[in-house]
Chains A and B, each alone.
Chain A
């Protein structure tokens, strides 16, 4: 195992994730672990990431529905805004895997493609326009440690037409990726797909 395989640069191509701890062996999983992983007779393909998190089934069981509620509930901030918040957090925390996955969930339009090109090329120094600029700046600031999120970010979002409800959705998606990045980037490495 060489570390040459570890991907350090942001990329649209979703890497393979290589865990730094031994994932749970599906054949030996407890009932609580199988429940948390949602293993059913028709769903027996479980990723190494989920098998790794299954070491803590209580957390895994509650996090998955919360993740879906924050990222994919109806109404509020649009898909592009929430995914851009997720990408901003992943840039600050340098989670190459999360950035690739969530860049891929941005809408398939010219504006989103241009924004991701700019972000993956320049990182935190990326220059975006209008509403996307306000969302990205807020996402970067809230993700820093300690957080640098301040009234100027709320003001810029409000001026860009983002409502209070939508700002809360952005806070939730950015914060959620402070969580996800600390699992994905801390517990494993993004590697090229053909790496064992």
Chain B
């Protein structure tokens, strides 16, 4: 092995570190240590000027290892890896030591101790850098094919978006028709287009598209392989079929909440959910006067937030479904315009007709809808009978009790997640506390999941309007496009490796790996690198110490521990 030549750089972080940790003392403690050729401090190591200086030093001293003591690797590991690459140094010969979060921020009142700890950590980092190896990312060729699960508005839009980019699409739907929640619907906001027609329009395009194959009455029943090249199984009528795809878009949707019989008067004649009422309106758009299941409707009462925003508790739906206020207001406008003789009363908690949807609230007010605000402590009581009687306390007249009669009470319910254990098992998708699939970050990475190559969109990740579902479907398509059209995926090479001469093929590790990345071949274990996530579950179970994760080799970890201990003893 070449003689080690390390550069050690310690960051002030503009005072974030140096106000507590004596960085000069840390520098002196490591200067001249075996293998250390350069030791410097910088006000901001991440600044372009400091990076240029470090690049110059790496080249000038022909450094073959690098330690930077600064912030968390979460923040700048990638910054400095790229810097190393620019200097012609293999990025995996760079080690980041965190003396901000772990020293100056954690121990602001003990500067002496914080400095001691920083010295020990930097020495540990040096021990790692001395043993670092040059590594190259694992490259996986991608297939320009994707699977979209769910043929609702989000799935249909995603499929079309992918096809337009030249990606072959396998569209899998559990029912025998496309359309999801919009299939049998009349006009929807904000376009006033009929849901049914929108679905038909999209479906015609998909049908014409040679790039998209659709599988009805089918569901996912197996997943193998890696991002860029999955081997997926779908089941249809008990028959299995294998499909290969580079990425998966989950657009499995949600379902409208239906109250239990008796809750909010549900189950009695004249009480329905908004979704049921909308389906009825779609079926009888021109009927005059307005009837609902044989009842003449002169007065229509909406109750908002049914089964939503419940007080915390087990299985409570504490969340707001965000689309239902607007949906109810839009329905009221529809009824006002077709059946102006119908009086409509809205019992609400808070109106959330956000953004431009405010126009439906104003329009409903203008049409003469009456709004009564109730408090969750005294929800409306609905008494069944020939004419329904509704009692509620109106917050806008100092909680006076109001009684009104109604022909139809429409419960405005939200959306709830559809639980699909199979999908969870095969895709290992994280689920949020509300039961919907969870994205990595709602604003910054809104359709990506923790599972590589699996994207989510539409109501599967939370309640939303049709407009928002379509937009997120297209967003998922764009992300899949960016992944697959690049031709290859690069992954961290910090994966498990087998020390051949120690392995006796006992197979203990094969069972320990949650990703199925290990397999026995002959009397040795083999790592399928593209499957391995480098999490190291296999390392401690191996009785022969024959498995290690690159970058965290047995020797490296032992040396790290020794030097941490020494560092503390010295300082």
- A and B: real partners? no
Task: List the interface of chain B (C-beta within 8 A of A).
Answer: none
